[in-house]
């Protein structure tokens, strides 16, 4: 009897909105999750009764269980829900955890992904220990102990600046990467590259009406090298600081998910396999060097998949800051030509808990257009972490 593999048979994502001032500013993380969960179940061809679990990443959304909320709202009351939090890498971890359960034989079909609404994230208060009624408002749980070299609320330093400093990356290199990211994202939108993966959202407007939201709104058509070069750095008080809003990711809202099933179930139900989940990994590093964590997790996940850098047809290395993919390409010998070919965090945006699943979806669809092959999605994550997933995409049946 052949071993069961974890395969992806469906996926969907919302368009990516710009937080606070974009189309999804009044749409909650729960509502975004409901849209993609319902659509992934529909696209999969499986009945709700065949789904064993829903695993959704969520980051800084109050500590609830959005996956369970989505299960109930979408009529899958018998399906439990599990919350994952590995910040930026959360939905990569959700897919990896789903694959592990499938391969173990414990489950047969799991919806995995993530949802993020920074626009509506709840503001928390924290009671100061030793006091009765002294509270810190607008409090966020820290990912690591605070220090000057690793401030726990400023990733422009732990991811962007420290990575650039460690590998001698110039602002010009990072700005050039960001500019190309916008060009690639706009080209992808104009060519219809994202149409297949996007499910429109009926987005609430402040006047109580709704508008159909269909297209990623964060990429800028008017971005130029001169405009990027003219932006102020985020820390002008630090000599030589090279991180700007232009070579950083956006602040965004979106949800994305895939259906992970056993290869035996896919065969018995005659489901088309879009990709096989070959390996997944996570790693930790000194929080001061969070951006460098991808340099550790990529070799780790490639080793688990039994492949090398040269075997990978396409890469998604999230542009939390442009410094990260620039560093990965330089250090690991990855060709920039096959990294983030449809744009990434600097252009499409970075809806934190949803980004990993968005990256996997984009890899699947672009690899199918190119005839298949290995794809790697990798990203650093808050507190000195990183996650990665390797997929193997077969050539489309009708190609």
Q: Which of 182, 218, 289, 350 is catalytic?
A: 350
The catalytic residue among 182, 218, 346, 380 is 380
3-state secondary structure of 272: coil
Active site residue 380: yes
Q: Pick from 152, 87, 378, 168: which is nearest to 287 by CA?
A: 152
Six-digit token string for 266: 């896919």
Active-site hit among 88, 182, 218, 289: 88
Alpha carbon distance, N-terminus to C-terminus of the chain: 30
Angstrom distance (rounded) from CA 90 to CA 85: 5
- Rounded Cα distance between 268 and 45, Å, is 12
Q: Is residue 350 annotated as part of the catalytic site, yes or no?
A: yes
- Alpha carbon 118 to its chain centroid, in Å, reads 14
Structure tokens at 162: 């420290």
**C-alpha–C-alpha distance, residues 362 and 13, integer Å:** 10
Residue 346 bears catalytic tag: no
* Residue closest to 323 by CA, chosen among 349, 303, 296, 294: 294
Task: DSSP for 231-254, please give it.
Answer: SPBS-TTSTT---BSTTB---EEE
Please give the sequence-ordered ranges of beta strands (E in DSSP) within 133-209, or none if there are none: 135-139, 201-204
Rounded to an integer, what distance in angstroms lies between the CA atom of residue 298 and that of residue 280? 10
Query: Residue 150 carries which DSSP code?
Result: B
Strand partners, 375: 314, 391
Going by C-alpha positions, the residue among 117, 133, 97, 32 that lies closest to residue 280 is 97
Q: Which residue numbers are catalytic?
A: 88, 350, 380
């Amino acid at each position: 009897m052949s071993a069961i593999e974890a395969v992806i048979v469906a996926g969907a994502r919302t368009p990516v909105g710009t937080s606070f001032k974009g189309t999804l500013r009044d749409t909650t993380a729960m509502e975004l999750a409901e849209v993609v969960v319902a659509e992934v179940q529909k696209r999969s061809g499986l009945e709700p009764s065949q789904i064993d679990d829903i695993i959704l990443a969520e980051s800084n959304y109050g500590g609830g269980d959005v996956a369970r909320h989505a299960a109930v709202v979408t009529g899958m009351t018998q399906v439990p829900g599990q919350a994952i939090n590995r910040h930026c890498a959360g939905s990569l971890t959700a897919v990896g955890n789903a694959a592990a359960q499938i391969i173990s034989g414990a489950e047969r079909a799991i919806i995995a992904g993530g949802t993020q609404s920074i626009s509506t994230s709840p503001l928390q208060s924290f009671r100061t220990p030793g006091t009765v009624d002294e509270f810190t408002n607008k409090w966020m749980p820290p990912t690591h102990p605070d220090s000057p070299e690793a401030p726990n609320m400023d990733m422009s330093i732990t991811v962007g600046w420290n990575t650039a400093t460690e590998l001698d990356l110039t602002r010009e290199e990072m700005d050039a990467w960001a500019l190309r990211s916008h060009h690639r994202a706009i080209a992808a939108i104009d060519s219809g590259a994202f149409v297949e993966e996007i499910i429109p959202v009926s987005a609430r407007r402040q006047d109580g009406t709704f508008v159909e939201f269909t297209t990623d709104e964060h990429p800028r058509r008017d971005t130029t090298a001169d405009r990027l070069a003219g932006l102020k750095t985020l820390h002008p008080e630090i000599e030589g600081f090279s991180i700007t809003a232009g070579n950083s990711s956006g602040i965004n809202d979106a949800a994305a998910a895939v259906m992970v099933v056993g290869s035996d179930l896919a065969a018995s139900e005659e489901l088309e396999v879009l990709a096989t989940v070959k390996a997944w990994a996570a790693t930790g590093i000194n929080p001061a060097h969070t951006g460098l964590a991808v340099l550790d997790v990529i070799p780790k996940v490639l080793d688990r998949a039994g492949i090398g850098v040269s075997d990978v047809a396409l890469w998604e290395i999230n542009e939390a800051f442009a410094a990260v993919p620039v560093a990965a390409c330089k250090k690991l010998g990855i060709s920039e030509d096959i990294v983030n070919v449809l744009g990434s965090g600097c252009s499409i945006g970075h809806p934190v808990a949803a980004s990993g699943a968005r990256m996997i979806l984009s890899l699947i669809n672009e690899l199918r257009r190119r005839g298949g092959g290995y794809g790697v999605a990798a990203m650093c994550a808050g507190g000195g972490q990183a996650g990665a997933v390797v997929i193997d995409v077969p050539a489309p049946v009708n190609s």
